[in-house]
Structure formats: structure tokens, C-alpha cells
Structure 1
Amino acid sequence: MSKILVPTDFSNNSYNALYYAARLFQNKECTFHIVNVCTGENNPDREKAKIESMQELEALVHRLVRDVGENTKHAFKKVPLCSDMTVGVAKYAQKHQMDLTVIGNKAKEEIKHILLGNNAMQLVREITSCPVLIVPLEIDFKKVDKIAFTSNYANPISHDNIKTLQFFCNVADSLIVPMSIEENKDADPEEKNKANFLEAIAKNSSKEVELPVFDGKVNTILEFVDLWNIDMLCMVYYPHHFFLEFIGKGIIKELNTKLNVPFLILPNTPN
């Protein structure tokens, strides 16, 4: 049974992430750990805050069941948490060995909620024990037919991350579309890492797509996602490599406004 962590602040974007996850994994046995960081750990009224949080969590689950229908494959664990938001959620994910964390991405008009903007990226940086799926608010659920994986292959893709990609393919009956940006094309380590990865996913993938950088790496990726009708984008998070540039200052705003498919971020795990 998969364990899926969904932090919520009861905003529309966090509910949309929960709804998307429930639909995506509708045929998979899952326990959803719905966590609300209701107050700091030093708040003298934290017990009252936890009671109020639990009431809202109960209402949230009732809303979800009403919207997606009763599913005997799904169980829900409702957790009011007294903690710092990002650190508390990350520690919960690690302690309870979550298989996936799902968070909502912001809409243009929702800029003050706790899980949005830079805080969402702080969660990505803090949660290193499992993959993170970021779900844009302004999308309707649709079947995931194509999952694009993009990398410059400067590092090997770990066995755990390959297994995660294959898990998503099996759950959603999807095809992996490997995409790379043409740079350092003759570098031996990158070519070896790419070849090993492509061999490992061969049964679940299409032919690799190689693209030149025509208007910056971000716009190249966004154009590829649009033209190839990609349903989910996947990358590995390297704290001091290509990915940091992708989510860096200024780029996150472009992601929030332009990336209109869920974004699966894999942790930098060793082989």
C-alpha cells in the first residue's frame, strides 16, 4: 500500500492537489496522510488549534469523498501538526516513510497562502526522503498518457528514481518521453549515464527527444511540453546543478504562470 503525504492549508490549491492525487491513484491501494500545520509548537493554545484543525480535516475528507466518490482502496489519516511548516512536513515525510508528497501550486490570485510561492519550493528543498508532485491549481484532471523526463545526465539516474518513474507508468498506464537539451554532447560520463537510463526504462519509453536551446532552457522545456502534449513533467532535484537554475529566483514565477501540467520532482538519491 502506498503512503501519500498531502499537506493542506485548506486553500483551493491544496485541495486541488489532494483531488488530483485521489483521481490519479484511484485504482491503487493508498493511505493519504493529510497534514495541516495548524500552529507553532510553542503556542500555548496549540491543543485548541489541533481540535479546530481536526474538524476542518474531517470536513475536507468528506468533501473529497463527495467529489470523487467512495473508494475502498483509499484510507485517510488526518494529522494536525504543531510545527514549522516546511521542516515539520519534511520530518513527517521522513519519519513515516512516505512514498510521495503532493502539493498544490499557486494561482495568480492566491499569493498569500502558506503553501504557495517560495514556501512550496522550500518544501521541495526540505523533502529529500521521497518524490514531490506539484499540481497546478488551474488544471482539470486528465489521464496521464505521457510523462516527460528531462535531464542533462551529468549525474547517474538512481535505481530508486527509475523505479518511481516506472511506478507512475504502471499506475497511470503512461509512456515515458525522455527529453534532453543538446549540450556537452560528446561528454563521456553524460553519454554513459544517459545510455544506462534509457536502457533501464526501455520497456516504458518512447524514443528520446533531443532539442537545441532556442530561447533559454526553461522556454525550451515549456515549448516541448506543449508541442508534445505532455501530461506530466519529471526532473531530478540536484541542489547545486541544472535543476537549481530551473527553480531559481525569477524562474519560479515563470513556472507558476506557464507550466500547466503536474511537475514530478525526484530526490537526488544515491545508486
Structure 2
Amino acid sequence: MDKRILLLTDFSKNALNAALYALDLYSDRVCSFYILNTYGVDGFSIDGSAYTRPGQSSHDIAKSETEIRFKNFMQMLRMHSDNSKHTYETIASYDSLLDGVKKVVAKKDIDIIIMGTKGMTGSRTVLFGMNTVNVMEKVTECPVLAVPEDIKFRRPKEIVFPTDYKKPFKRRELKYLITIAQMHNTSIQVLHVMESNELSESQEDNKELLKRIFKEVGHSFHELEGASVNSEINAFIDKRNSAMVAFVNYKRNFFSKLISRPLVRDLGYQSRVPVLVLRNRT
């Protein structure tokens, strides 16, 4: 069965880089790529300049410019990879980013969204731009993979999966992490940054459950002691040269803490490895 992948673009260098990463990540799979650009809702062009041409509506101007940019964007994708297993469909939506994404996810039955962590208007002082954070937090129908600026694809030797073992795991929420691991013969490194010397009974049960869920892929368990979650995850990823990190996005829980502005600024590792946000639908 083919994978149905939504790529988000504002035609920036970073959006192109994320799209190229996606093509390489799924190079051995039959995929339908849907490439979405949203434009014009606020009366401004994609790059922030106002529409001023006489005799044309902002909608018409934006649509025309988007069509031209899509042609150039697709040329660069095909120059990078002329893969017979991949098909493409471009979608221009006169909508907000979040509304446009939700409509395409529902209509096209999307498996995963892949996007860059910063766009054309992104500040270099913010690792996760607001658009990326909104998609990560508010699109609950499928996983999201955020690819940092200038990261080039390398076959992931291992994926780091931080957890506090405080919530029971479900196979369906970890399915996509397992799929990516199986695609590239990748091991999953479960990382627990210890808050105390011993796990509670419920934490032990959740750890055992995770072992059963990951039985089909290579995996190992690690425990680290440290004063802060961010520094320990950062050090672990750096030491092992890991290629990706994955989280389950529980509401107001682990991932919400990680994408708060002060912690993101301190954390730093998001600028070096792609971040896979998995969905919890309880």
C-alpha cells in the first residue's frame, strides 16, 4: 500500500530541504506526495510584500505567483530524484496554513506531514517557528516530521525515543515510529531521564509494555541522571550521533514542555536532528 505524504511549502530554502529529505527517506517506498502551499488570506504575498497591482484582486495575483513557484519547486524535486515509485500533486489553497492542512489531511487520507522547522519569515532566534508549532500541536490526525534547516538525509542508524514512562503506551500511537525503523533497519533507543532512583510500579509496567510493542524492531533502553531533561537528551543525541528523535504528543505533557519557548531555546538539539511527533488520541 502506498504512503500518502503531505509536504508543506512556502517555497523557502528550508521547505525545499524538508521536501528533499522526505524523498530520500521514502526512496524505496511507493508514495503519493501532496505538496501544499497556502496563500493570501491576510492580503499579503507569501514573502510578506503587499499586493499592489491595479486591476487584479489579491487572490488572483497570489494564485498566479503560486503556480509559477510550484513549477520551479517541482523542477527542483525532480532534478533531485526522478523516482518512478513517487507521484506528485500540488495543492494551492487560499486559506490559513492550519485550516489548509486539516482539509488536505482529511480529503487525501494523509499518513504523515513533513515540513521544515522555519519558513521565509522565521526568526533565526526561534528553533521552532510558530507555524511549525501550530501544526505539531493542533493537527492530531497523523504524525508530523519537522526537518531542521540545512539537515541532509542520512539513513537513520537509530532513533531516540525519550519517555518518562508515566503514561501507558498504545501500539497505534507508536505504529509510525516502528514503520520508519523497519524501513531503514533502524534501532530505537528508549531514553529515560531519571527523576528518582527507582521507577514506580506503573512506570515499570509501562516499560514492559514498551518492550512488547518494540519487539519487531531493534531497540535498547537507557537511563540517565541529570538536573534537566533538555541537557540530557541533547548530550545523548550528540554522543551517539543519532539521526532522529521521536515524541508522543500528550496534551499538556512531555512534548508541550519541550516546545515552550525557553526550553526550546536552551535545548538546541532540534536544530540538528529531525523531530517526529507521534499522536495520542485518547
Taking structure 1 as the reference length, what is the TM-score of the superposition?
A: 0.90
> Which structure 1 residue ranges, 5 or more long, are not aligned?
none
Q: Distance in 1 between matches of 2:252 and 2:116?
A: 24
Aligned residue runs from structure 1 range 127-146, under 5 A: 127-146=139-158
Letter in 2 for 1:224: F
**Counterpart for residue 132 of structure 2:** 120
Give how far 1:130 is off. Answer: 0.6
Letter in 1 for 2:212: E
Give how far 1:80 is off. Answer: 0.3
Cα RMSD over matched residues?
Answer: 2.4
**Counterpart for residue 205 of structure 1:** 218
Is the aligned partner of 1:2 residue 2:3?
yes
Q: Distance in 1 between matches of 2:221 and 2:175?
A: 19
> Which structure 2 residue ranges, 5 or more long, are not aligned?
45-56
Secondary structure in 2 aligned to 1:207? strand
Give how far 1:256 is off. Answer: 5.5
Is the aligned partner of 1:155 residue 2:170?
no
Q: Distance in 1 between matches of 2:221 and 2:194?
A: 12
**Kept in 2: contact 1:107–1:137 (CA 8 A):** no
Give how far 1:170 is off. Answer: 1.8
**Cα distance change, pair 129–51 in 1 and its aligned pair in 2 (3 A):** same
Give how far 1:51 is off. Answer: 3.2
**Kept in 2: contact 1:106–1:256 (CA 8 A):** no
Q: Aligned pairs, how many?
A: 266
Larger radius of gyration: 2
**Counterpart for residue 90 of structure 2:** 78
Letter in 2 for 1:35: L
Q: Distance in 2 between matches of 1:107 and 1:88?
A: 16
Q: Distance in 1 between matches of 2:108 and 2:115?
A: 17
Give how far 1:92 is off. Answer: 2.2
Q: Distance in 2 between matches of 1:123 and 1:256?
A: 20
Taking structure 2 as the reference length, what is the TM-score of the superposition?
A: 0.86
Q: Distance in 2 between matches of 1:249 and 1:160?
A: 29
Give how far 1:37 is off. Answer: 0.5
**Kept in 2: contact 1:90–1:126 (CA 8 A):** no
**Counterpart for residue 223 of structure 1:** 235
**Counterpart for residue 24 of structure 1:** 25
Q: 1:181 aligns with which of 175, 193, 197?
A: 193
Give how far 1:14 is off. Answer: 0.7
**Kept in 2: contact 1:105–1:256 (CA 8 A):** no
**Cα distance change, pair 28–231 in 1 and its aligned pair in 2 (3 A):** same
Q: Distance in 2 between matches of 1:9 and 1:107?
A: 7
After superposing on structure 2, the runs of 4+ consecutive aligned residues of structure 1 that deviate more than 6 Å are: none
**Kept in 1: contact 2:119–2:129 (CA 8 A):** no
Is the aligned partner of 1:66 residue 2:110?
no
Question: Identity, % of aligned pairs?
Answer: 27
**Counterpart for residue 51 of structure 2:** none
Aligned residue runs from structure 1 range 74-113, under 5 A: 74-106=86-118, 111=123
Q: Distance in 1 between matches of 2:232 and 2:120?
A: 23
Give how far 1:109 is off. Answer: 9.8
Cα deviations by residue, 1:48-88 (Å, 9 ceiling, x for unpaired): 422321221122111111123x1010011100011112232
Is the aligned partner of 1:55 residue 2:40?
no
